[in-house]
Structure 1
Amino acid sequence: MKLSQVKNILQTADAVDFQLDNGVKVPEHFHVTEVGVVTKNFIDCGGTVRTEKVANFQLWKANDFEHRLKPQKLLNIIALSEKALGMEDLDIEVEYQVETIGKYDLGFNGKTFVLQSKTTNCLSPDKCGIPKEKIRINLKEMQSGNACTPGSGCC
């Protein structure tokens, strides 16, 4: 989800609620402790230099049980971040601590912002030796006759 999408949702939202993609809700007394820009410069396993840039929200569960972040307050924090940091309309990554600090993509289910699990992946499988996935064919489903021709991948 892009920063502009979050701002559009907040314009008409009654509340700011987050939940994990497994349905567990972030306690409603959470704080947004950081809004920023994170730039990652790295070399992948194939030797390609890459740069990633995301808008970052950090959520923190405090013992301030009376705290409730209102949509306008979060919009104000975002506006200040855009001005002070020159923040662009970037994809959003959310940091939230469960057992340890996790990084999540951000979605929206029509009512609640959803912290979506992220996964790792090889960015250069052709350069670091990851074999291509082979086509799997169930022999029982093959038709008889000339179903297997050279180059079809079935034999």
Structure 2
Amino acid sequence: MKISEIKQALAEVEAVNFRLPSGEYLPAHFHVTEVGLVSKHFIDCGGVERRETVANFQLWEAGDYDHRLAPQKFLHILEVSQRILGTEDLAIEVEYQQATIGKFGLTREGNDFVLTPKQTACLAQDACGIPDAQPFALPQLQMAGAACTPGGGCC
């Protein structure tokens, strides 16, 4: 999800609900504690220099159970954050505390914002000698009449 998409979504929803990949919802009293610009300048294992920039939202919860972040308040936070984020329509990355700080992508499903898993990957597989994933076929099982027999290939 990009900044423009979350702004549009916030104008359409009545409540801000975040859902984890497991299907569990963040407690309704969560806070958006940070909105930031995260730039990563790196060299991949193949020696290629790369840059990546995302808008980062940090979600957090405290013991203030009566707190609710209204869509309009979240939009206001994004407007104030534009000083840092600039005008580029950046992809969004979300941080949320679990056993450690988890990093997630973000999508929308209906009225919910869904945190999506992020995966590591080798960006230079050809330079590292990593073969393309080759699909493999399961051996064809043979049915020996109506029952399986030892060594018959059906189980």
Using structure 2 for the length normalisation, give the TM-score.
0.85
- Runs of 4+ off more than 4 Å: 137-140
Q: What runs of 5+ residues in structure 2 fail to find an aligned partner?
A: 141-155
Deviation at 1:83, TM superposition (A): 2.9
Deviation at 1:134, TM superposition (A): 3.3
Equivalent position of 1:38 in the other structure: 38
Secondary structure of the corresponding residue to residue 126 of structure 1: helix
Superposed CA offset, 1:23-50 (max 9, x none): 1110000000001110000111111110
After TM superposition, the structure 1 = structure 2 runs for residues 59-74 of structure 1, keeping only pairs within 5 Å, are 59-74=59-74
Residues 1:23 and 2:23 are matched in the alignment: yes
**1:8 equivalenced with 2:8 (yes/no):** yes
The separation in 2 between residues aligned to 1:72 and 1:47, in whole angstroms, is 45
Q: Decide whether the 8 Å contact of 2:11 with 2:72 is kept in 1.
A: yes
TM-score, normalized by length of structure 1?
0.85
Identical amino acids, percent of aligned pairs:
54
Match of 1:53 in 2: 53
> Per-residue displacement from partner, 1:85-113 (whole Å, max 9, x unpaired)?
42521010000011110000001111110
Given that 2:32 and 2:60 are in contact with CA atoms closer than 8 Å, whether structure 1 keeps it comes out as yes
Number of matched pairs? 141
1:15 Cα deviation from its structure 2 partner: 0.5
Instruction: Indicate conservation of the 8 Å contact 1:37/1:87, yes or no.
Output: no
